[in-house]
Amino acid sequence: MSQAVAQPPARPAHWIVSGGYDTLFFTGSLAFPMLLWAAFAHGVLTGVGVYVAFQLLFNMPHNVQTWTMSVFDAEDRAREGRRYLVALLVIVGLIGGAMLLSPQGVYPWIRDALVYWGYYHLVRQHYGFQRLYERKMAVVGAPPSTRESFAYGRYLDIVSYAPLLLRFRDPELMTIRAAGRGVWIRHPVLPDLAAKLVLFVYLACIAAAVAHHVAAAARGRKALLPRAMLLLSVTACFGLAGLFATDIVVAIALVTAFHNVQYLGLVLFHNRTRADLEEREGVRTGQNLPVDWIRAGRVLPYALMTFGYGLLLLAPRATFRSVLLAELPLTAMVALHYYVDSRIWRFQSYPKLARYLKLRP
């Protein structure tokens, strides 16, 4: 044991966690929503079934992970609790008020704004993963240039938003059909010429990225694979959802469940590292029940919290299907998640993030 302790620490790899872990959670995670698509395509699940499955298995478990790093954490709650409470009251007042006072006028615009906010939220996560991999590339001595990092940030924007814009060419592609009625997600209708231009830019961007990677590999560039796998999986996910999944519910499930599994893997790694460090050092940085469960190896209560949360939020909507206000718990908590999640991943505001993600300063 003493010899193991005396050995110098291993040089960090260019993976966030490890090759196997990253492949399963951060890039290979596309396989999970693809199963939902296959079930829909073969008639195993209806559009509503896909929606319920992706909410309970992916979206709500991912949603509750945000609370393990924020409102369930005594330290963060003491610092940001008032801000979170004000945000929740504003969200509930705005959405609930629109549901009650203008269900056919104002509320549909708010609902659609949340859809687009959620889409932006998904894209930003992939940019965050890009930056994590680039920090790892720097550690192993193969940092990308500032220009390259910026270019691949814009690459993620193009391969994520272009498929959405291409759906704008036909209102039917943005219409949710369930229970005999259609709900159109508002958008400008893209003219045919504009759609062709978007498609050209989209394909040219992918071709340029492939050419750059081939050239870089030929020059012996190191540590390209993890980031390249991320770029490939994001391109595939948004491309399949935007260009081939004609049912909008299936398309939403594809891009969102992909994001959900990535997030579950990252937060689990973060919380496990925190629990291990606190156990090893004998220092608790703040009371946090989910982290305490991980430290004690209590998987069952952690899993029950994760999946029970989804059942709790979906129950009102399932019980009172004709009451619009029954959507409020789910809609409000998703909106609050977008807000809180946009804050807790800021490394400058949360310096312990780098430590819990095993990143060097």
Q: Is 170 helix (H, G, I), strand (E, B) or coil?
A: coil
Tokens matching residue 84? 């979170």
Q: What is the pLDDT of residue 295?
A: 86
Q: What is the pLDDT of residue 179?
A: 64
Dihedrals φ, ψ of 229, to 5°?
A: -65, -40
Q: What is the pLDDT of residue 1?
A: 40
Q: What is the pLDDT of residue 174?
A: 96
pLDDT in tens, 80-112: 999 999 999 999 999 999 999 999 999 999 999
Q: Is 288 helix (H, G, I), strand (E, B) or coil?
A: strand
Residue 174 is classified by DSSP as G
Q: Where are the beta strands (DSSP E) in the chain?
A: 175-178, 181-184
Nearest to 265 by CA among 31, 13, 27: 27
Asked if the model's pLDDT at residue 3 lies above 50, the reply is: no
pLDDT in tens, 163-192: 999 999 999 999 988 766 789 999 999 999
- Band (pLDDT 50/70/90 cuts) for residue 129 is very high
Residues in a beta bridge with 73? 288
Query: 269 near 21, Cβ under 8 Å?
Result: yes
- Band (pLDDT 50/70/90 cuts) for residue 344 is very high
Asked if the model's pLDDT at residue 148 lies above 60, the reply is: yes
pLDDT in tens, 38-84: 999 899 998 888 988 999 999 999 999 999 999 999 999 999 999 99
Q: What is the mean pLDDT of residues 13-35?
A: 92
Q: What angle do CA 111, 112, 116 make, to 5 degrees?
A: 120
Domain ranges of the chain: 78-356
Q: Is 307 helix (H, G, I), strand (E, B) or coil?
A: helix
- Band (pLDDT 50/70/90 cuts) for residue 297 is confident
- Band (pLDDT 50/70/90 cuts) for residue 360 is low
Q: What is the pLDDT of residue 93?
A: 97
pLDDT in tens, 272-289: 999 998 888 877 666 898
Q: What angle do CA 25, 239, 237 make, to 5 degrees?
A: 10
Q: Is 73 helix (H, G, I), strand (E, B) or coil?
A: strand
Dihedrals φ, ψ of 169, to 5°?
A: -70, -20
Residue 179 is classified by DSSP as T
Average pLDDT, the chain: 91
